[in-house]
Amino acid sequence: MHTLRMTPSKPNQTANFATLFKAKWPPSSAQAHCGEFELPAGPMLVFIEDVTGSGKTESALLLAQRMMVAGKGRGLFVALPTTATANAMYERMAECYRRLFVTDAEPSLALAHGRGSCMKDFVPRSCPRARRRVLFEVRSKPCRRPAPPFFADDRRKALLADVGIGTIDQALLGVLPTKYATLRQLGLASKILIVDEAHAYDAYMSREVERLLTFHAGMGGSAIILSATLPRRMKEQYARAFRGGRHADGVALRCDAYPLVTQIPMRGAITETPLDTREDLKRSVAVTRIQDCDEALERVAEAAGKAPLSLIFATA
């Protein structure tokens, strides 16, 4: 008979950017900031806005690890917009998730989406007894099957793992009138919720994300939202929804700087910190103001006349 450990793994108290990611390069401004700013008491919401490829995921994981050490969560769940991005995140997380916890811990990693069965090395398969033990045990050495069958055989139970990766709908089903919604809520209640690519959701999905943040805050959870292009209006809606979970006051954001890290405690002052982006990602765009529509159309016609014929047909 095999047993399954359900007690949460203890977070690594001494982890930092270099040890978490085995990095031989210095952290970006956002990563450095997420590794050092003071965490307020109680649940908190953090927005991390930076350019694509700047390392927002590493910033969020570093911050989530600090939140776990501070007692704001006992694990994390990363929600992404598509199965492809969830699969990619699952592969990335497999390389570093153990370092979020103490050395002798046995943390579990699970994938939660409707096509999880297509992921090699995740789905438990029929195998000899000696091999099946590897499915149940999560060892300190690299393991090609880091999810025990208890978490792997049902998307709802996957949210109970120490580290969960999945599509956003797996979290949203916990706040919709669905069967076993409370099981999903139980899994998320103790987690740091990381919502990636937040700009990818339409009006309906954004409204559901707001409700998710309200429920999550109401259960005492903290959240991190990542985006390269998140409008201030949407940030304010998410922030109001989060604070509304504990009947706290709304928010009014003021800073339009980019990149930007915004810290929203449940109560107290909001902190908006403008940051610098990496030199290799900086771009300059020349902008010219055009006074009327006719001149604008002339510019477009002139540019189209200079463009290669293949480009004109491709954009027509």
Q: What pLDDT, in 10s, does the model give residues 65-113?
A: 999 999 999 999 999 999 999 999 998 898 899 999 998 888 888 888 8
Bridge-based pairing state of the strands 44-49 and 223-227: parallel
Q: What is the mean pLDDT of the chain?
A: 82
Query: What pLDDT digit, counting tens, does each position of 188-220 carry?
Result: 988 999 999 998 888 999 999 999 999 999 999
CATH classification code of 17-285: 3.40.50.300
Closest listed residue to residue 70, CA positions, set 12, 138, 141, 27: 12
Q: Which two tokens stand for residue 285?
A: 């765009």
Helices (H) and strands (E) in the chain, counts: 13, 8
Is residue 132 over pLDDT 50? Answer: no
Residue 167 to residue 184: CA distance in whole angstroms: 13
| Higher pLDDT pick, 115 / 36 | 36
Residue 88 to residue 59: CA distance in whole angstroms: 17
Residue 308 — pLDDT band, cuts 50, 70, 90?
A: low
Q: Which two tokens stand for residue 134?
A: 């590897």
Residue 271 is given by DSSP the state E
Closest listed residue to residue 109, CA positions, set 192, 63, 165: 165
Note the pTM of the prediction, 2 decimals.
Answer: 0.80
Highest mean pLDDT out of 6-15, 181-190, 238-247, 286-295 = 238-247
CA distance between the termini of the chain = 65
Residue 126 CA to its chain's centroid (Å): 33
| Higher pLDDT pick, 113 / 4 | 113
